[in-house]
């Protein structure tokens, strides 16, 4: 298996972990449980960001540039609601 494939799998897994911790944070019934999930979520988000940055540096995760006009249109759409 190539390094790129491994990194893609790692990124997918950590995104899933972040999703689980987010829901745990939202649904927690006590302050201590909420804090534990929130701390785990923040740590997982940091890991996700490191993986993403490494992949982007290597050119393995490319993002499209969006025109400023489209960004402005999206902002206006959601501000109007």
Local confidence pLDDT in tens for the 81 residues of the chain: 899 999 999 999 999 999 999 999 999 999 999 999 999 999 999 999 999 999 999 999 888 888 999 999 999 988 886
User: What per-residue confidence (pLDDT) applies to 29?
Assistant: 95
* Largest distance between two CA atoms of the chain: 48
Do you know the residue count of the chain?
81
Handedness of CA 7, 61, 41, 39 (dihedral sign): positive
Helices (H), 1-81: 3-27, 31-57, 68-79
> How far is 56 from 58, CA to CA, in rounded Å?
5
């Amino acid at each position: 298996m190539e390094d790129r494939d491994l990194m893609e799998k790692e990124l997918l897994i950590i995104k899933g972990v972040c999703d689980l911790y987010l829901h745990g944070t939202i649904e927690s019934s006590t302050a201590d449980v909420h804090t534990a999930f929130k701390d785990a979520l923040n740590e997982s988000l940091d890991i996700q960001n490191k993986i993403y940055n490494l992949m982007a540096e290597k050119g393995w995760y490319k993002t499209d540039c969006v025109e400023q006009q489209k960004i402005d249109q999206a902002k206006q759409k959601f501000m109007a609601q």
